[in-house]
Amino acid sequence: MFSRHHKKARLLFGLSDIVLIALAFEAAYQTRVFLPIERNFFLTVQVKALLLGSAVVGWLLIGYWLELYDRLDSALPPVILRDTLKQVGLGTIILILMEFLLRLDLSRAFLLMFTGYSFTLLMLFRWRAASLVGMIRREFGQPHFVMVAGTGDHALHIARLLEESSAYGVRLNGFFRTENEPAIDHLTVSREYPVYPIDTLPDRLKAHVIDEVVFAVEAHVLPGLEEMFLLCDEEGVRTHVAIAFFPHVNSSVYLDRLGTAPLLTFSPAPHDEVLLFLKRTTDVLLGGAALLVLSPFLLLIALIVRLTSPGPAIFRQERCGLNGRRFVCYKFRSMVDNAESMRASLEHLSARNIAFKVKNDPRLTPVGRILRKFSLDEFPQLWNVVKGEMSLVGPRPAVPGEVEKYKRWQRRRLRMRPGLTCLWAINGRDEVDFETWMKLDMEYIDGWSLALDWKIILRTIPQVLSGKGAH
């Protein structure tokens, strides 16, 4: 229930941004038109619509990218100030780029006033966002009455979560106890709630408003409650089953279907096919464009590698991809040609106990050290990205020998398509120890979004250009 109301709040903040940005744009335009400045300023309807549309879309995308709408009703003023400054600053840059690309001659005073007006209006709204959202819920939203079936520890946990959602209009009305639970008349959470026998559910549905029922009972009790589920279904009452069968599972849980058979699904990795398709589309477009644009540069690097040390320009190595699929990973050769045969003699120097990594590796060629420092040796993997074996962002592809040494929880990193960069790349690169590296990959998988991918890409660029953290 909280997630539904949270989505409504995000929608409200997004809509408010559209209105406020449009107001700021029009106010800036009218102010500039009537300012007694020597040079006249006028925009045609088409140009005005294009600029306003670009501003609105840009502001919204930046807001979602910064995850600004997720915390507006609970963020502290300094956080709101910081995020609004970022949004307005980046949004203004988008307008300036639009002016440059379309060769418009926008008034600098107009841009300055639009920036100031939009920042002022957004800050005034967001400063009072929590109270405004609360007022809207009170005035226009109806209370949502919920009952919990069950009286055990998990039922009490669900009850506390419902109480925490009271700001969203959720009202906990009491509990139902099943036949195998103690015969008690009330339960205390933050306050005292009545407890009714489960067989009184039909009468309570007739006599009282109950919008939803959450079943938080032991797994073996559920089959005996089939009649209650059917009753709620017939009455049109939404029901939930609190999953407590696997208390330590961190997977996303959702209902899927195989034909007509419903399946309760546990997904330990991102599963939204639409978002994953957009991620793959981004990989193909950006990866393909990068290969085309950088092809002369890549050919030059290949030539330099080939001329400065014996051996091929491209180093090929088998790696583990999505769900353990094997593929050939491409890199510019940065080591001597017989580097693999020398590995055994250097194992004792590895800074990591699983992933082999030697600081100041003696097998590196002079050119290879430069390639490694600025990650230029990884560029051929853009071809792996276009082929679908890798992604621009994701856990680094591991060699099979390393995967065999993984702990069980570390193998979950294979459930995401490997990438050119990830969280470890913007948190120290080769200076990150193996355990932290694995945990950062888990953090990426658990919190994955398209916005997170773009954040990592944009933060990777300066990190790589600086050459920091590369061994």
Write out the H or E segment, with its range, that includes residue 55.
helix 45-65
Statement: residue 122 has pLDDT above 50: yes
pLDDT tier at 1, thresholds 50, 70, 90: very low
Statement: residue 2 has pLDDT above 60: no
Mean pLDDT over 189-217 rounds to: 91
Domain boundaries, the chain: 2-136, 143-248, 273-466
* Residue-wise pLDDT tens digits, 208-245: 888 889 999 988 888 899 899 999 888 888 888 887 66
Decide which of 348 and 221 is more confident.
221
Statement: residue 255 has pLDDT above 50: yes
Q: Spell out the alpha helix ranges (H) of 247-380.
A: 273-308, 339-342, 366-373
Q: How much is the pLDDT for 75? A: 61
pLDDT tier at 274, thresholds 50, 70, 90: confident
Q: How much is the pLDDT for 136? A: 53
pLDDT tier at 265, thresholds 50, 70, 90: confident
Q: How much is the pLDDT for 335? A: 92
Statement: residue 312 has pLDDT above 80: yes
pLDDT tier at 132, thresholds 50, 70, 90: low
Mean pLDDT over 267-296 rounds to: 90
Query: From residue 187, how far is each of 175, 228, 230, 435 by CA, in Å?
Result: 8, 22, 26, 44
Residues contacting residue 448 through CB under 8 Å, at least 6 positions apart: 270, 416
Q: How much is the pLDDT for 351? A: 60
Statement: residue 291 has pLDDT above 60: yes
Token digits of residue 211 = 């919008």
Most confidently modeled of 38-42, 218-222, 249-253, 266-270? 218-222
What whole-number distance in Å separates Cα of residue 461 and Cα of residue 467? 10
**Topology, domain 143-248:** Rossmann fold (3.40.50)
Amino acid at 423: L
Q: How much is the pLDDT for 139? A: 46
| Average pLDDT in the chain | 84
Rounded percentage of the chain residues whose pLDDT exceeds 70: 89
Statement: residue 3 has pLDDT above 60: no
Q: How much is the pLDDT for 192? A: 93
Give me the half-sphere count of Cα atoms (radius 13 Å) on the Cβ side of residue 350. Answer: 15
Mean pLDDT over 367-381 rounds to: 92
Q: How much is the pLDDT for 168? A: 66
Statement: residue 51 has pLDDT above 70: yes
Most confidently modeled of 97-106, 143-152, 282-291? 282-291
Q: How much is the pLDDT for 289? A: 94
Rounded percentage of the chain residues whose pLDDT exceeds 90: 32
In degrees, rounded to 5, the angle at the alpha carbon of residue 29 between the alpha carbons of residues 24 and 33 is: 150
Q: How much is the pLDDT for 318? A: 94
Q: Which of 119, 123, 122, 124 is nearest to 92 (CA)?
A: 119
Most confidently modeled of 49-58, 263-272, 344-353? 49-58
What whole-number distance in Å separates Cα of residue 137 and Cα of residue 165? 12
* Residue-wise pLDDT tens digits, 403-421: 988 888 888 898 899 999 9
The whole model's pTM is what? 0.66
pLDDT tier at 72, thresholds 50, 70, 90: low
Mean pLDDT over 19-25 rounds to: 91
